[in-house]
């Protein structure tokens, strides 16, 4: 039995906890909340045994085996390192850190303590991504990749009226690139590795937050265009174009329906989730590592992601220290 604790209370945590119900080996052990009352209400909703309002006390709880961290981005490293040093496995929400150095600190601390650290990146684990990998040879030499995640934020209208919630708060290391752009970056790196070069541009909103952006990444034989936005809604899927055909991807954050279109217009559609919640797969891989299965490819990709995003933010001028008006 793995006793799981959680840091964070939001809709993402709800989705993760829904997935835990499919694993008989998981016991929901404890939840951290800054407020005892809200923490207790959430614990009662999901059946947690304990509520902590002190992270040090949670770290000292020897009954806790693993911790899922879904707090604001700026808190990931401090919280993860605290739990890792206490001998607890950590599953940390994306993006794991704003810098390569911070991300590497978490990965290395886990190695030093002999525990598992993994970024909770949905697209890295779902069957749809592996179906894309399986189909890539069928479309011949890949020449062009278009990966897009543009989703009009439910909080954007409030932002335009002067109400700044977490999603648009740079002091929490948020913004469209960190929240949504991380998905096309991660998927590109997982499928094709690190680009030789790139150029990136962002559109800024008041208060120094990026509302949308674009990267064009160069490889020896192809280009990859990545787009993300919290202020527009895309209507087209993503696509990988090869000389022999194309692969159409419904969602870069969680590839679910994959369509293979050959140059002769032959079309095959693959549904890949098999009725399971999307977070089931990342949780499954996290648990596999806890019981001893080596999966170093996930941390390798997460570190590439952190390094590339840090360079791209510098190029775009995204600076979390600029917080005028907040």
Q: Decide: residue 96, CB within 10 A, 0-12 exposed, 13-18 middle, 19+ buried.
A: buried
- Alpha-carbon span 187 to 168, nearest angstrom: 24
pLDDT band at 97 (very low <50, low <70, confident <90, very high): very high
Is 97 found in the same domain as 167? no
Is 23 found in the same domain as 164? no
Query: Does the pLDDT value for residue 222 go beyond 90?
Result: yes
Domain that holds residue 55: 2-120
pLDDT more than 70, % of the chain:
98
Is 264 found in the same domain as 202? yes
Look at residue 101 and tell me if it is in a domain.
yes
Is 155 found in the same domain as 113? no
pLDDT band at 322 (very low <50, low <70, confident <90, very high): low
- Alpha-carbon span 27 to 4, nearest angstrom: 6
pLDDT more than 90, % of the chain:
93
CB hemisphere CA count around 237 (13 angstroms): 16
User: What is the pLDDT, as a whole number, of residue 211?
Assistant: 97
User: What is the pLDDT, as a whole number, of residue 321?
Assistant: 75
Q: What pLDDT digit, counting tens, does each position of 65-91 carry?
A: 999 999 999 999 999 999 999 999 999
A 10 A CB-CB count for 192 gives 16
Look at residue 42 and tell me if it is in a domain.
yes
Is 154 found in the same domain as 62? no
Is 131 found in the same domain as 14? no
Helix axes 76-85, 100-113, angle to 10 degrees: 10
Ranges assigned E (strand) in the chain? 2-7, 26-32, 50-52, 66-69, 89-93, 117-120, 142-150, 197-205, 209-218, 223-229, 238-242, 245-249, 257-262, 267-271
The DSSP secondary-structure symbol of 25 reads T
Look at residue 19 and tell me if it is in a domain.
yes
Specify the higher pLDDT residue, 93 or 49.
93
Show the 3-state SS of 45-68. Answer: HHCCCEEECCHHHHHHCCCCCEEE
Is 184 found in the same domain as 66? no
Look at residue 299 and tell me if it is in a domain.
no
* Mean per-residue pLDDT, 196-219: 95
A 10 A CB-CB count for 110 gives 23
Is 164 found in the same domain as 249? yes
User: What is the pLDDT, as a whole number, of residue 207?
Assistant: 78
Chain position carrying tokens 């509302």: 211
Query: Does the pLDDT value for residue 267 go beyond 80?
Result: yes
State CA 315 to chain mean position distance.
22
Q: What pLDDT digit, counting tens, does each position of 30-51 carry?
A: 999 999 999 999 999 999 989 9
A 10 A CB-CB count for 102 gives 18
Contact 312, 227 (CB under 8 A): no
User: What is the pLDDT, as a whole number, of residue 274?
Assistant: 85
User: What is the pLDDT, as a whole number, of residue 326?
Assistant: 38
Is 146 found in the same domain as 8? no
Look at residue 141 and tell me if it is in a domain.
yes
Look at residue 27 and tell me if it is in a domain.
yes
What contacts 258, CB < 8 A, 6 or more positions away? 128, 131, 132, 135, 247, 248, 249, 250, 269, 270, 272
CATH code: domain of residue 239: 3.30.360.10
CATH code: domain of residue 39: 3.40.50.720
Domain boundary pick from 120, 146, 173: 120
Is 129 found in the same domain as 109? no
- Alpha-carbon span 247 to 259, nearest angstrom: 6
Q: What pLDDT digit, counting tens, does each position of 121-178 carry?
A: 999 999 999 999 999 999 999 999 999 999 999 999 999 999 999 889 999 999 999 9
Q: What pLDDT digit, counting tens, does each position of 254-266 carry?
A: 999 999 999 999 9
A 10 A CB-CB count for 63 gives 11
Out of 15-29, 160-174, 219-233, 238-252, pick the least confident.
160-174
Contact 129, 190 (CB under 8 A): yes
A 10 A CB-CB count for 15 gives 15
Give, in degrees to the nearest 5, the angle at Cα 77 between 72 and 83.
Answer: 105
Domain count, the chain: 2
Return the SS3 of 133. Answer: helix
Look at residue 143 and tell me if it is in a domain.
yes
* Mean per-residue pLDDT, 7-21: 95
Is 153 found in the same domain as 68? no
Domain boundary pick from 73, 103, 120: 120
Contact 86, 60 (CB under 8 A): yes
Chain position carrying tokens 């207790």: 40
Does the model's pTM come out above 0.85?
A: yes
Look at residue 287 and tell me if it is in a domain.
no
* Mean per-residue pLDDT, 40-63: 96
Is 142 found in the same domain as 116? no
Domain boundary pick from 65, 95, 120: 120
User: What is the pLDDT, as a whole number, of residue 325?
Assistant: 38
Query: Does the pLDDT value for residue 24 go beyond 70?
Result: yes
Query: Does the pLDDT value for residue 234 go beyond 50?
Result: yes
């Amino acid at each position: 039995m793995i006793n799981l604790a959680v840091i964070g209370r939001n809709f993402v945590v709800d989705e993760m906890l829904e997935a835990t119900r499919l694993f008989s080996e998981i016991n929901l052990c404890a939840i951290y909340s800054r407020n005892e009352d809200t923490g207790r209400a959430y614990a009662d909703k999901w059946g947690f045994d304990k509520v902590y309002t002190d992270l040090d006390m949670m770290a000292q709880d020897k009954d806790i085996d693993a911790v899922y961290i879904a707090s604001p981005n700026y808190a990931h490293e401090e919280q993860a390192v605290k739990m890792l040093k206490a001998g607890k496995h950590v599953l940390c929400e994306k993006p794991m850190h704003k810098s390569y150095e911070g991300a590497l600190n978490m990965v290395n601390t886990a190695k030093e303590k002999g525990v598992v650290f993994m970024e909770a990146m949905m697209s890295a684990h779902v069957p749809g991504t592996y179906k894309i990998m399986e189909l890539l040879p069928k479309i011949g030499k890949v020449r062009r990749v278009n990966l897009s995640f543009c989703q009009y934020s439910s909080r954007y209208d409030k932002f335009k009226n002067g109400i700044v919630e977490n999603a648009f708060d740079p002091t929490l290391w948020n913004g469209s690139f960190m929240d949504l752009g991380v998905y096309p970056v991660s998927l590109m790196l997982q499928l094709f590795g690190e680009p030789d070069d790139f150029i990136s541009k962002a559109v800024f909103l008041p208060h120094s937050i990026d509302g949308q952006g674009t990267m064009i990444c160069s490889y020896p034989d192809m280009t990859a265009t990545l787009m993300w936005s919290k202020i527009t809604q895309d209507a087209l899927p993503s696509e990988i174009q090869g000389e022999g055909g194309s692969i159409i991807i419904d969602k870069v954050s969680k590839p679910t329906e994959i369509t293979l279109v050959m140059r002769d217009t032959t079309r095959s559609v693959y549904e890949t989730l098999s009725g399971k919640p999307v977070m089931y797969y990342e949780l499954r891989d996290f648990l596999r590592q806890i019981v001893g299965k080596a999966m170093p490819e996930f941390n390798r990709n997460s570190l590439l992601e952190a390094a590339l995003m840090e360079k791209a933010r510098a190029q775009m001028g995204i600076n979390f220290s600029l917080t005028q008006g907040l």
